[in-house]
Amino acid sequence: MKDIQRTLYGTPLSGHSHRVELLLLMLALPYSYIEAPARVRSSAEFLRINPLGQIPVLIDGELILCDSNAIMVYLVKQYAPGSGWLPEEPVAAAQVYRWLSIAAGEVRYGLATARGVKQWGLPGDLNIASAIAGKLLRFMDGHLTGRRFLALDQPTLADLACYSYIAHAPEGGISLAEYPQVRAWLAEVEALPHFKSMPGLPVL
């Protein structure tokens, strides 16, 4: 396959960027990285790339792709079809997409919001975010009993999409102490080949 110039816009502490980096590493797809903190994201140049002003953005050759989960779906379908990260079989595919929705819903508005409020004073209600996170973690702990991975009996995009913000939950004041199955699942993801951790922040 011809070499493609591939660039990821992200920040090291963004869980949305981290999930894309994990997949790029696990698929052994080379990429360069451009750090895009808030000041860059609000620039006219960046807003031409993503009018929502959000990271991650992936430039893959001529293609501009926004949204972490959309980028991951593209990468698997384009570069690793049949690899198991995103199965074609309808029931298995639905099981993976369910967790992509949870990553964009409960994970984003629970765990990620709590971390944003605690660490950077970003907008959000800590009580509401903590309640959303708690409900999700209780569900996940039960769901993961007897399972190694979230959607199937092998790692899929479901695991990468949900991993980063759940692993860093304590940085948003959300303890994982009561969720042993969730912690065991995090360890499974961390044991995958080419795993790279996201830098930690103080537990507040």
Ligand X SMILES: N[C@@H](CCC(=O)N[C@@H](CS)C(=O)NCC(=O)O)C(=O)O
Q: Closer to ligand X at the Cβ: 73 or 189?
A: 73
Chosen residue from 7, 25, 40, 54 binding ligand X by CB under 6 A: 54
Q: Closer to ligand X at the Cβ: 57 or 182?
A: 57
Residue 176 falls in which region: left (phi positive, over 0), alpha (psi -120 to 50) or beta: alpha
User: Is residue 68 at the binding interface for ligand X, with CB under 6 A as the rule?
Assistant: yes
> Under rule CB under 6 A, which residues in 132-191 are in contact with ligand X?
none
In this structure, the strands spanning 57-60 and 6-10 are antiparallel
**Could you give phi then psi for residue 63, rounded to 5 degrees?**
-90, 135
Q: Closer to ligand X at the Cβ: 7 or 54?
A: 54
DSSP class per residue in 125-164: -HHHHHHHHHHHHHHHHHHTTT-SSSSSSS--HHHHHHHH
Chosen residue from 21, 60, 67, 106 binding ligand X by CB under 6 A: 67
User: Is residue 56 at the binding interface for ligand X, with CB under 6 A as the rule?
Assistant: yes
In this structure, the strands spanning 32-35 and 57-60 are unpaired
Here the tokens at position 134 are 């708690």
* Binding range to ligand X, per CB under 6 A, among 54-62, 86-94, 136-144, 172-180: 54-62
- State the SS3 of 26-60: HCCCCCEEEECCHHHHCCHHHHHHCCCCCCCEEEE
Chosen residue from 9, 21, 24, 69 binding ligand X by CB under 6 A: 69
Provide the minimum distance between the beta carbon of 145 and ligand X in the complex, in angstroms, as a whole number.
Answer: 28
* Binding range to ligand X, per CB under 6 A, among 21-29, 53-61, 74-82, 127-135: 53-61
> Under rule CB under 6 A, which residues in 20-49 are in contact with ligand X?
41
Provide the minimum distance between the beta carbon of 66 and ligand X in the complex, in angstroms, as a whole number.
Answer: 7
Kindly report the number of other CB atoms within 10 A of residue 7's CB atom.
Answer: 14
Provide the minimum distance between the beta carbon of 183 and ligand X in the complex, in angstroms, as a whole number.
Answer: 23
Residues lying near ligand X in the complex (CB under 6 A) are found at 14, 16, 41, 53-56, 67-69, 104
